[in-house]
Chain A
Amino acid sequence: MATLVRVDDLRKEFGKVRALAGVSFNVEAGEWIAIMGPSGSGKTTLINILGGLDTPTSGQAIVDEVDVARLDESGLTRFRAQKIGFIFQQFHLVPYLTAVENVMLAQYFHSATDEKEAQLALERVGLADRIEHLPGALSGGEQQRVAVARALINHPKLILADEPTGNLDEANEETVIQLFRELHSEGHTILMVTHDPAIGNLADRRIEFAHGRLVKVTPSNDASRNAYR
């Protein structure tokens, strides 16, 4: 497998606070990586840098042969539109747009909108009957599935998910995790921040952070994957 993400001695400081203190690792294309660790360990900062939402203080973060650290504002914008699919804990749907319009919003900023394709993406995540609903009329799980459909609509190279099940109840969590399993089996590359060890065990590898440093990389096995409910 080809290396899709290469992180080399990545550092990020917010004033005197060191969020990332020299992190290095690689992610192969098609891998599902779980990033774990306590709050404030630098997980979200790493996701933000890899997704082009933030820039590192030093080091390299190369995604699909693009060094994110070297991109200017417009370069980062193009990078986010073309290579990254974000899924957030808070869903982050636009409240006055319907489910299908939220998906089309990502198409709009990527290239051209295709409502039919957006509808198919929602059907794929089990929301065929919720296409014209506003986010306020959807459950948390349904909103997160809209966010998954939105993340996938532009066929991104890398899916970055920051605690995607953190705000969901057990039933909705299972639905969303099942979606991630399907995405993984289809060959998508996923970096997922999670606090839940059971979800972390579903990934190919678990990368654990503490105080801005990578402290442990653990490959999963079938036994650990089967342990998830």
Chain B
Amino acid sequence: MFWRLLWKLLRGSGGRLAVAILALVSCAMVVSALLNLEFDIERKLTQEFRTLGANLLISPRNAQITGSSPAEVMIESEVSAAIQSVKDPNVMAAAPFLYVVGSAQNTAVVIAGTHLEELPKLEPAWRIEGEWKSSQAQQTACLVGRNVAQQLKLAVGSSVSLTYLKKNAQLKVAGIIDAGGAEDNQVFLELAEAQDLAGLPGQISFAQLSVSGTTTGISHYAARLAAALPAYEVKPIRQITEAEGDLLSRIRLLIVSMIVLISALTALCVLGTMAALAMERRQDVGLMKALGGSIGRIVTLFMAEVGVLGAAGGFIGAILGLELSRWMGQRVFGQAISSRWEIFPWTIILTVAIALAGALPLRLLGKVKPAIIFREQ
């Protein structure tokens, strides 16, 4: 009889309850979408953050460049071995660098030796005219910064002659880099070529890594790497990792605030509807009490009605919310956010809780006195 009564109550107040269920569906939809976004935001944002470039630096202790060559250098094989040994799926790119100041066609330039095929992964924001050198076979190809190309009137396919001390290398320009920074004044060539030119075989100035994840995660990885490289300094590039962490925290706070605000507004909407419904049902409650219905049993019946509304609203809203989060992901990140079904029960539980909180006026029905209700009529 309980379920029969519940069904009749739901049918009997369809119009008024439609307002409440609409509010609950809307709430569940937005909450579900935001929760889905919240769960995926770290992965999405850290992917986005990686376009900002390297965020971890391995360098000699007290590294500086004196004159035209680095005062202290590191052993490339030691660094490579350490990066290989401290495996982490969050390492998106890693590249060693050897910097020397040489000349190109009698003009002083910074010569940077690195693994050129790692540059697009390490610095995704850099734009290039021409192509990234992607083959180790192209030993004599180089990438030149935009300013260097302008100053030396170089174009893609041009030849450039680099000189360091008394050594000389003839290279072909594979691409012109527009980095929007100091890199526009540099010439990038394969690390082995630069080491040969600088007379520093097997040596590097420093190494840069692009590591995705939270500030804490990156710090943990840095600590592990530092333990494997005790002779060198391993540190996160603080400005970048802190800015990333701060932005992530702010977005999370925004999402949580919105969930709380939407939940409160929905509870108020349900509260208004239920207050009106409670007034309408005073006569029914008076009768039920006259027939021997206990306060607990009657209020349980009405709260169950609200619970069913909350569950139904949560169910429908959660499904719509997952679709909404996909759409939001597409709009904000350019790719759909993957649906997390574990959000589903939590959305329903939250919506039921909101509905029950909004149904507090129904508790007042417990105070209805049948004799007074009948006398009013």
Chain A contact residues, CB within 8 Å of chain B: 44, 48, 51, 53-54, 73-74, 77-78, 80-82, 84, 86, 88, 90, 92, 94-97, 101, 104-110, 113, 150
Contacts and interface: CB of A to CB of B under 8 A. Distances in A.
B284 interface: yes
A80 B291 contact: yes
B288 A109 contact: yes
B9 interface: yes
A48 B292 contact: no
A73 B295 CA distance: 9
Nearest to B11: A96
B291 A86 contact: yes
Nearest to B286: A92
B149 to A, nearest CB: 82
Contacts of B5: 97, 101, 105, 108
A141 to B, nearest CB: 19
A107 B291 CA distance: 9
Given A92-B287, A96-B8, 14 more contacts: A44-B375, A48-B374, A51-B290, A53-B370, A53-B371, A77-B294, A78-B292, A80-B290, A84-B292, A86-B290, A94-B287, A97-B5, A107-B1, A108-B293
CB-CB nearest 8 A-B residue pairs: A81-B292, A96-B12, A109-B293, A113-B1, A53-B371, A109-B292, A54-B371, A80-B292
Given A95-B12, A101-B4, A106 B292 contact: yes
A52 to B, nearest CB: 9
A19 to B, nearest CB: 11
A81 B4 CA distance: 20
B284 to A, nearest CB: 6
A105 B374 contact: no
Contacts of A113: 1
Contact of A77 (B1, B2, B11, B289): B289
Interface SS of chain A: helix
Contacts of B287: 92, 94
A88 to B, nearest CB: 7
Contacts of B377: 90
B87 interface: no
A94 B9 CA distance: 10
Contacts of B11: 96
B363 to A, nearest CB: 15
25 contacts: A53-B290, A53-B370, A53-B374, A73-B295, A77-B289, A77-B293, A80-B289, A80-B290, A81-B292, A86-B290, A88-B374, A92-B283, A92-B290, A92-B374, A96-B9, A101-B5, A105-B1, A105-B288, A106-B292, A107-B1, A108-B1, A108-B293, A109-B288, A109-B291, A110-B292
Contacts of B283: 92
Contacts of A90: 374, 377
A168 to B, nearest CB: 17
Q: Which of A78, A88, A95, A105 counts the most B-chain CB atoms under 10 A from its CB?
A: A105
B61 interface: no
B297 interface: yes
Contacts of A73: 295
Nearest to A160: B290
Nearest to B281: A94
A76 to B, nearest CB: 9
Contacts of A86: 290-291
A106 B293 CA distance: 8
B291 A105 contact: yes
A82 B293 CA distance: 11
B374 A82 contact: no
Nearest to B298: A109
A96 B371 CA distance: 22
Contacts of B369: 53-54
Contacts of B374: 48, 53, 88, 90, 92
B71 to A, nearest CB: 89
Interface in B1-55: 1-2, 4-5, 8-9, 11-12
Contacts of A48: 371, 374
A77 B285 CA distance: 13
Nearest to B13: A96
Contacts of B290: 51, 53, 80, 86, 92
Nearest to A98: B8
Contacts of A44: 375
